[in-house]
């Protein structure tokens, strides 16, 4: 049987350096070690990061960023988004040797263009973004096996980038450079706003006298998420789908009285839901008109 494309060009055993061994960097470093690579160096400024390196990357020596780059074939640049380009420029401007190095960043926002300063100096750039939340706990490493990575790299490096993801036990998904910000906006909107929506629902239920909102919400929201992932808008239920304009109006009135900040988000999401349900043919035009009248009030 022919091997998958992502494994046809399997990377050789590499020495790995981690610049920024936080929750993400330390986990990916550990995953690469488990795949047979060797993490030989890492930066660690705070006591927390030193402890994380000692726990997850015990063979790595701690040093400055330039020393880490010099010691490794592959360098994970797992720093905050805003620090990424200044870090790369700083390494190049101070004469750090990046030629021939695989430089990998994990930012969802950026493609490999964020590494342009190093690419111009001969580095081999890749963006490997794990689509997963990281808590800093040991189970983070195991969760890589069930997640996808958004992969962006020059075409010549695509097989290596995808093979590295496969080696870590995850699923590489190709994202073009020009679609990187849209890709990240979709993920942030889904994951981050979901937390806010659930937390707000729990808070409102508490205000309504429910002692254990999580227990009430768990089965409902789990079913809703499953329906949305499997069925898309066909998984929709509730008053918007039914065209219950009066029910929606009563929700808005109650929210404005008890949680005005929630009312605005409820109206915005209800409008988007009505628009999408109408476009999908799930909501009749006359029901949509009644709903939009309520939502514009």
Give CATH for domain 5-175. Answer: 3.40.50.720
Lowest mean pLDDT among 82-86, 132-136, 267-271, 288-292: 132-136
Distance CA 43, CA 48 (A): 12
Q: What tokens were used for 268?
A: 């915005």
Beta strands 124-130; 148-152: pairing state: antiparallel
**In Å, how far from its chain's centre is CA 30?**
19
Residue identified by tokens 């002692």 is: 211
pLDDT > 70 in the chain, percent = 96
Is the per-residue pLDDT at 8 higher than 70? no
pLDDT tens for 129-175 read 999 988 878 888 888 888 999 999 999 999 999 999 999 999 999 99
Is the per-residue pLDDT at 5 higher than 60? no
Q: What tokens were used for 246?
A: 């009066």
CA dist 121 → 107, 124, 158 (Å): 21, 9, 20
In DSSP terms, 18 is beta-bridged to 42, 76
Distance CA 62, CA 41 (A): 6
* Cβ atoms of 168 and 74 closer than 8 Å: no
Lowest mean pLDDT among 124-128, 175-179, 289-293: 289-293
Q: Determine the pLDDT at residue 297.
A: 64
Answer whether 0.75 is exceeded by the pTM. Answer: yes
State the average pLDDT over residues 25-39.
Answer: 95
Q: Determine the pLDDT at residue 2.
A: 43
Closest CA to 141 of 64, 38, 29: 29
Q: Determine the pLDDT at residue 21.
A: 92
Is the per-residue pLDDT at 210 higher than 80? yes
Across the chain, mean pLDDT equals: 93
**In Å, how far from its chain's centre is CA 239?**
31
* Cβ atoms of 165 and 141 closer than 8 Å: no
Is the per-residue pLDDT at 9 higher than 80? no
State the average pLDDT over residues 30-56.
Answer: 94
pLDDT band at 7, cuts 50/70/90? very low
Is the per-residue pLDDT at 3 higher than 60? no
Q: Determine the pLDDT at residue 142.
A: 85
Task: Calculate Rg over the CA atoms of the chain.
Answer: 24
Is the per-residue pLDDT at 240 higher than 60? yes
pLDDT tens for 63-114 read 999 999 999 999 999 999 999 999 999 999 999 999 999 999 999 999 999 9
Q: Determine the pLDDT at residue 145.
A: 83
Q: Determine the pLDDT at residue 137.
A: 82
Q: Determine the pLDDT at residue 12.
A: 75
């Amino acid at each position: 049987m022919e091997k998958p494309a992502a494994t046809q060009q399997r990377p050789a055993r590499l020495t790995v350096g981690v610049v920024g061994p936080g929750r993400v960097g330390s986990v990916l470093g550990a995953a690469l070690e488990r795949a047979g690579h060797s993490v030989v160096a890492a930066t660690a400024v705070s006591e927390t990061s030193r402890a994380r390196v000692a726990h997850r990357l015990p063979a790595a020596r701690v040093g400055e960023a330039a020393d880490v780059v010099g010691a490794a074939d592959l360098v994970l640049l797992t720093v905050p988004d805003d620090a990424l380009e200044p870090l790369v420029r700083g390494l190049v401007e101070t004469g750090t040797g990046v030629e021939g190095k695989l430089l990998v960043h994990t930012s969802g926002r950026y493609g490999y263009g964020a590494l342009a300063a190093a690419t111009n100096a001969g580095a081999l750039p890749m963006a490997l973004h794990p689509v997963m939340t990281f808590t800093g706990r040991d189970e983070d490493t195991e969760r890589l096996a069930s997640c996808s990575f958004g992969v962006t790299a020059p075409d010549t490096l695509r097989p290596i980038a995808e093979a590295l993801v496969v080696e870590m036990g995850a699923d590489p998904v190709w994202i073009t450079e020009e679609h990187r910000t849209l890709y990240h906006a979709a993920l942030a909107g889904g994951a981050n706003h979901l937390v806010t929506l659930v937390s707000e629902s729990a808070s409102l239920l508490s205000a309504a006298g429910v002692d254990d909102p999580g227990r009430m919400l768990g089965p409902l929201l789990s079913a809703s998420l499953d329906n949305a992932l499997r069925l898309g808008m066909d998984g929709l239920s509730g008053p918007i789908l039914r065209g219950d304009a009066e029910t929606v109006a009563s929700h808005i009135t109650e929210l404005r009285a008890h949680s005005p900040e929630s009312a605005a988000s409820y109206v915005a999401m209800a409008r988007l839901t009505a628009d999408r349900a109408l476009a999908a043919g799930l909501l009749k035009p006359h029901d949509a008109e009644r709903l939009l009248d309520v939502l514009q009030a």
